[in-house]
Amino acid sequence: SQQGEEDPQALSIQEGENATMNCSYKTSINNLQWYRQNSGRGLVHLILIRSNEREKHSGRLRVTLDTSKKSSSLLITASRAADTASYFCATVGTASKLTFGTGTRLQVTL
Amino acid sequence: GAGVSQSPSNKVTEKGKDVELRCDPISGHTALYWYRQSLGQGLEFLIYFQGNSAPDKSGLPSDRFSAERTGGSVSTLTIQRTQQEDSAVYLCASSLALGDLYEQYFGPGTRLTVT
């Protein structure tokens, strides 16, 4: 079963705009991770934020974490067509088992 | 260096047949994970290995599913008597060690279609 929900389920923006995706989860966590998936195949790890962190940056990515609300957001700034993909948040449970959210499908158009 | 590889990339099988899916993790990675992605269930964890040992098999959907890992390297996920609901993309991942701060590297997946 999935840990939580992501919204929106789908997002369409123009190149250059910012994209924000939100993730909610249900249980206590040690960290939360974001992944990207192209064309329904392999997942690529984007960023990890620990439970004692509130914000983290990596290039054009900014992740926030609010453990009191059990929610996280991923912001992609200055989006590019190559950012078109599905984005998933994942929480880490026992034995490093990843539990994924439902995902957001991002479409960036020229 | 080489990433995680999986074979076959696509597999079409008839209902009732057995299938074997293979995962080659990154060399030196001691932890290996299997996940499944289907339309109805999203991305779900199946099983993990620490070395050759799989301490928790509770994520496997049914007793038709089994997995093994040999030599601390290659892993095989076997589905016996396949059913249509087994159709999904099966993803394998490996990490340097077990622990929530170790990044998991995913393979490209095997798309299984049961007709």
Q: Which of A52-61, A94-103, B93-102: highest mean pLDDT?
A: A52-61
* pLDDT tens per residue across span B3-22: 999 999 999 999 999 999 99
**Which chain B residue shows the shortest CA-CA distance from A87?**
B43
* Rounded average pLDDT over B55-78: 94
Establish if B95 touches chain A: CB-CB under 8 angstroms: yes
d(CA B55, CA B50): 8
Write the CA distances from B37 to A30, A99, B68, B86, integer angstroms.
Answer: 24, 12, 20, 10
- CA-to-CA dists, residue B40 to A33, B29, B31, B36, B88, angstroms: 22, 31, 27, 11, 10
Angle (CA) A34 B45 B68, round 5°? 130
Give A1's pLDDT tier (boundaries 50, 70, 90).
Answer: very low
Q: Which residues of A touch B42 (CB under 8 A)?
A: 2, 100, 102-103
Q: How many whole angstroms separate alpha carbon A95 and alpha carbon A51?
A: 17
pLDDT digit string, tens, across residues A68-89: 999 999 999 999 999 999 999 9
CB distance from A1 to chain B under 8 Å? Answer: yes
Residue pairs spanning A and B at CB distance below 8 A: 62
Substitution target from B10, B43, B92, B113 for chain A, most A beta carbons within 10 A? B43
Task: State the Cα–Cα distance between residues A44 and A8, nearest whole angstrom.
Answer: 20
Contact B45 A99 (CB under 8 A): yes
Quick check: B42 and A40 CB within 8 A? no
Return the structure tokens found at B39: 């339309």
- Within 8 A of A2 by CB-CB distance, chain B residues are 41-44
Spatial contact of B24 and B74, defined as CB atoms under 8 Å apart? yes
pLDDT digits (tens, 9 = 90+) for B85-98: 999 999 999 999 88
Exposed (0-12), middle (13-18) or buried (19+): which is B81, by Cβ within 10 Å? Answer: exposed
Of A31, A42, A97, the CB nearest to B109: A42
For residue A3, is pLDDT > 70?
A: no
Q: Which amino acid is at A106?
A: L
